[in-house]
Amino acid sequence: MALRTAYALTTALLVEQAAWGDEQAEVAARLWARRRLRHEDIAADAHRHLDLLC
């Protein structure tokens, strides 16, 4: 439960950072939330956005 709460708080911080209009932060926040909160496989999407994320 504590780890899930920490992931939710981290997601909130990432989304807050993404709100400043930085596309890289928005993509990273979306991918991170999908991986940590929904337990989805994000490999294909991360590969698609590789140039932006690196």
**pLDDT for 46:** 95
Residues 2-54 have pLDDT tens digits of: 888 998 888 888 888 888 878 888 899 899 899 988 999 999 999 999 998 88
As a whole number of angstroms, the distance between CA 2 and CA 8 comes to 10
The pair of three-digit structure tokens given for residue 15, joined into one six-digit string = 């989304």
Alpha carbons 23 and 49: distance in angstroms, whole number:
11
Q: Is residue 29 a contact partner of residue 53, using CB atoms and an 8 Å limit?
A: no
Which pLDDT belongs to residue 13? Answer: 85
Q: Considering the entire predicted model, what is its pTM?
A: 0.76
Structure tokens at 13: 């911080």
